[in-house]
Chain A
Amino acid sequence: MNEHENDELATRLTRTLTDQADVMAGSSLALATVQGRARRIRRRRAATAVVAAAAAVAVVVPTVALASHTGGRPEPAPATQTPSRTLTTTDPAQPKAGVLDVSDLPTGAPPALEYLRSGRLHFIDGGSGTVNTQHTPVAFLDMYDGSRVWQTSQGSASYIEIQDTDGTFHEPVRTSLGLRTNPGHTIAAWLTTSGQVVVWEAGATDPRPLGDPVPGSELTLGAVSGNDCSLACTVYVNTADAQGNLQPWEVTDSGSQPARDGSYLTVADVASNGLTIGLDKISDSGSCSKLLGGGEFQGFSTCRNTLVSFSPDGRLVLADPAYHDGIGNGEIAMYRTDGGDPLFQRHSTESAQSFYPEARWEDATHVLAPVFQDGQWSIVRIGSDGSMEYAVAPVPGTDANSPFVLATGGTAYGD
């Protein structure tokens, strides 16, 4: 190929590209638009490595599943458990080690997750806005691209309402309760009332079914792994049959099948590094959970807590009580993925009767949880050293109705 020929082609190329680029004449970006985008990027960066647990939305769901297998017999509150050694600082502002007492905490920064408060959406920069879903919002998911997936309800019916990046809503679709996302927040997953997993990917026009409907009478979403369902993604669905036997299922584009690997009873979460946590055993008085990896990773199991969700970088595991009663969780703990004793445990006591519906990872070492104690709800930030502070100061409320709903999965992991 001689130089002359290349020069000739080069000239043609330059002309062709210049002509084609004229298409953009007339496009223009306003400063405000750029600033808005910058704010969004800054939020994502501030919450870097946040992958919330994405636990099932309603507090009722996991406990119903468990209670039905334990005969529903309540146990006394675990007040007699000795608090484990913790790394809690000796800061006098902190409550007594091992106790989940949120009555008088120092106030820290506001949540780095979006949250609903009495139906109003609060943004990370402190602003707030109205929610224009058709039905009542019960949960929401911030997708990587700024779109949102809302779970809403009307009476006993649940819906999914997708909100595009420009704020417009898709028509509500009828679903069952439950909403999950993958660590990168590029995939949202839910179940139809007939057990069909549906996924929606940020930027797609419409949601689409994944795999085949999962059989079983009680289905709850477990975890979503993968980045892109058009390549490969897996949604875990936890099921129970009429006899009460638990079996997680794997749902992918190729179909749906029981997830036998690891012999879990339920799959709670899958980290982006492949570690998996879930229930291993269930008894009348409690349960055991285990963490498994692959290859030489040993994992661990514990009967002291239920392992709930991985931290964004997959190094820590959030845990709650080994036995769930119907009100809420009276205990919170964190483990390292290499096992052993928990980093800390905090549990409610007779004098500090507190509970929380669910906690979500805010960043690599902190979770946020709406906590109820003494007629008040607050959003509490709990660090991996067990220290606590208010992210949102207490407001009056009743135990049955939390005014706070934290974003499912928080903001997207990474940038």
Chain B
Amino acid sequence: MDPTPEHQTGTTAVADRRQTRDADFAAYLAARQPSLLRTAYLLTGNRHDAEDLVQNAFAKLYLSWDKVRNQGSIDGYVRRILVNEHNSLWRRAWKKREHIADDETLHRLDRPHHDAQHDGVDAALWDVVQTLPRKARAVVVLRYYEEMSEAETAAVLGISVGTVKSQTSRALATLRDRTPQTLNPRSREEDDLS
């Protein structure tokens, strides 16, 4: 006798719920992981660490999926996990596998950037971003890559808006300081071709 839905055993009901839950989560994972992987790369500077960071973040999201899925702010929540995970790995000071001249960075060095217009200024700018302290780097990535507002950035990082402001301006000052060849708009418009 096949069990009718209302006579389903507890085990079967649990299995069905789990399947729906997994399907929901899988959909979110598929939709959101590309952008999260990119953000993670900008935070960590290398591909392997980025993938590992995102795996951890999604794994933690999976564990709290039931609580979070109906709240509507999953994106912010998972970004918060991502940044905290990145910072906490750092705080705990345990070393991930060191990378020998990261593959894609070597390629970047060996193969010129596809967009020749940028003349290497962008390469220098990325190099300097990577010299920023972690918190400042996270602020820069959230503000200028994710294009979050100051308030959103503050919420994800768990810091005040004032700190976001000062970290941002200090970071920009450092970026200019360390790449004096960066555009100076005053001379840009007048730039001559003589």
Contact = CB atoms under 8 A, between A and B. Distances in A.
Do A and B come into direct contact in the complex, CB within 8 Å?
A: yes
Interface of A: 1, 4-6, 8-10, 12-25, 27-29, 31, 33-35, 37-38, 40-42, 144-145, 184, 186, 201-205, 227-228, 230-231
Contacts of A204: 95, 97-98
Contacts, number: 142
Contacts of B175: 9, 13
Main secondary structure of the interface of B (DSSP, over half): helix
A38 B185 contact: no
Nearest to A147: B97
Contacts of B51: 27, 29
Interface stretch (B33-41, B68-76, B155-163): B33-41
A20 B41 contact: yes
Contacts of B147: 14
Interface of B: 22, 25-26, 29, 33-34, 37-42, 47, 50-51, 54-56, 58-60, 62-63, 92-98, 104, 108, 113, 115, 118, 121-122, 125-126, 129, 140-141, 144-145, 147, 169, 172-173, 175-176, 182-185, 188
Contacts of B173: 1
A31 B37 CA distance: 15
The 7 closest A-B pairs by CB, nearest first: A21-B38, A37-B59, A38-B59, A17-B145, A186-B94, A16-B122, A13-B144
A165 to B, nearest CB: 9
A144 B94 contact: yes
27 contacts: A5-B184, A5-B185, A8-B188, A9-B172, A13-B129, A16-B122, A16-B126, A17-B126, A17-B129, A17-B141, A21-B41, A22-B38, A24-B41, A25-B34, A27-B37, A28-B34, A29-B33, A31-B22, A38-B59, A41-B59, A186-B94, A203-B94, A204-B95, A205-B98, A227-B93, A227-B94, A230-B95
B183 A12 contact: yes
Nearest to B38: A21
Contacts of A186: 92, 94
